[in-house]
Amino acid sequence: MNWTMVNDGAYDYAADTHGYTFGVLAEYYDRNWAFRFSEALMPKVANGLDLVWNLRKARAENFELELHPAIAGKRTTAVRLLSFINHANMGIYRQAVADFLHCLTRRPEITAHPFRTTVKYGFGVNLEHQFLQNLRGFARWGRNEGQHESYAYSEVDDTVAVGTDFRGEPWKRKLDKIGAAFVTNGISADHQHYLALGGQGFLLGDGALNYGREEIVEPYYNAHLWRGLFAGVDVQHIDNPGYNRARGPVWVPGIRFHLEF
């Protein structure tokens, strides 16, 4: 349920505050690989609801190369190489800090700048492998350049995640799954300095940052209850929430229901 496990936390994908956008997508499929490209709209402000329709002012390019290599004669592995390039009215952490230190703002303000189109880019790698009939795992790495403000997804500049799940056939619950994942997230030195001096992003900022990587462990169990009804129990253990050693650790229990029809 943690959103830096659901997706690559450092991949600042184009979206409004609800996670939606408009765009065009082209895909090419071959036997063992595929390539995808999209051009999408960006929000007017970080995590904003309104999108910019003028592509000269804001837009996002996304690229994905998906490979299915043969390992031991089987193609049960997927490798996805990703990249994004965002163009938007994004602030620059170092400039916001410099303006504050020169007494141009009362605190570092990433939004205190005239309109200009800046560029933010990042990369990601996603690996998936079916180890056994009932056992699969994944690993994920992501990083963005960390100089421009977090804009659309989450305040993460680099991330590494691993996880696995197991189907419940051995205990005659073939539609059940038990699994766990671990993720460690970080932010750039410029981002850290901005927050430590009292700057705020669309998610973070309390002016007292004692930096440490945010690390999360999340086990869960998903149970099939009846026909298309599923229920899951979940717990997250979060060290250094918001990258602050002075905070946490935090336990976050959860339960969810899923209905298919």
| pLDDT score for 72 | 79
CB-CB contact of 126 with 8 (8 Å): yes
Mean of pLDDT values over 132-152:
96
Task: Return the CATH number at 205.
Answer: 2.40.160.10
- Residues 6+ positions from 236 with CB-CB distance below 8 Å: 1, 2, 216, 217, 218, 250, 251, 252, 253, 254
Mean of pLDDT values over 19-28:
97
Q: What values do phi and psi take at 5, rounded to 5?
A: -100, -35
Residue 127 has pLDDT above 90, yes or no: yes
Q: How many domains does the chain have?
A: 1
Domain range spanning residue 75?
3-259
Residue 207 has pLDDT above 90, yes or no: no
What pTM, to 2 d.p., does this model score?
0.91
Residue 15 has pLDDT above 80, yes or no: yes
What pLDDT, in 10s, does the model give residues 28-78? 999 999 999 999 999 999 999 999 999 999 999 999 999 999 987 888 999
Q: Which residue has the higher pLDDT, 71 or 25?
A: 25
Q: How many CB atoms lie within 10 A of CB 97?
A: 19
